[in-house]
């Protein structure tokens, strides 16, 4: 049985591939949700739930919600300890 090692450079490959696929399919809010839930704080997760709720209720992303999503994503990525991983994520969005 293979064990996963978080320090293995390929550990995040499936996650990064999922981000790429979602970007290709225009699932940007879903990407933001995955990133925030994996790397964000409790408050950032709460904010992301509000953004997702607004997006789902309206069926589209309003300008102000889009700005909030962009700011939240930038905040999470800029505050990640693993800057190499943050850069890999940015490259797939």
pLDDT of residue 11: 84
Could you tell me the residue range of the domain that residue 56 belongs to? 24-91
How many structural domains does the chain have?
A: 1
68 located within any domain: yes
Over the stretch 42-71, which tens digit does the pLDDT of each residue have?
999 999 999 999 999 999 999 999 999 999
43 located within any domain: yes
7 located within any domain: no
38 located within any domain: yes
4 located within any domain: no
pLDDT of residue 6: 62
pLDDT of residue 10: 81
| Three-class secondary structure assignment of 50-79 | HHHHHHHHHCCCCHHHHHHHHHHHHHHHHC
pLDDT of residue 1: 45
SS3 81: coil
Mean per-residue pLDDT of the chain:
91
Is a pLDDT exceeding 60 seen at residue 80? yes
82 located within any domain: yes
Mean pLDDT of 81-88: 94
């Amino acid at each position: 049985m293979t064990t996963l090692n978080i320090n293995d450079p390929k550990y995040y490959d499936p996650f990064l591939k999922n981000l790429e696929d979602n970007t290709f399919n225009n699932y940007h809010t879903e990407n933001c949700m995955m990133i925030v839930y994996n790397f964000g704080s409790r408050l950032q997760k709460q904010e992301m739930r509000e953004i997702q709720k607004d997006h789902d209720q309206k069926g589209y992303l309003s300008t102000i919600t889009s700005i909030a999503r962009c700011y939240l994503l930038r905040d999470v990525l800029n505050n990640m300890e693993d800057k190499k991983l943050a850069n890999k994520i940015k490259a797939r969005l």
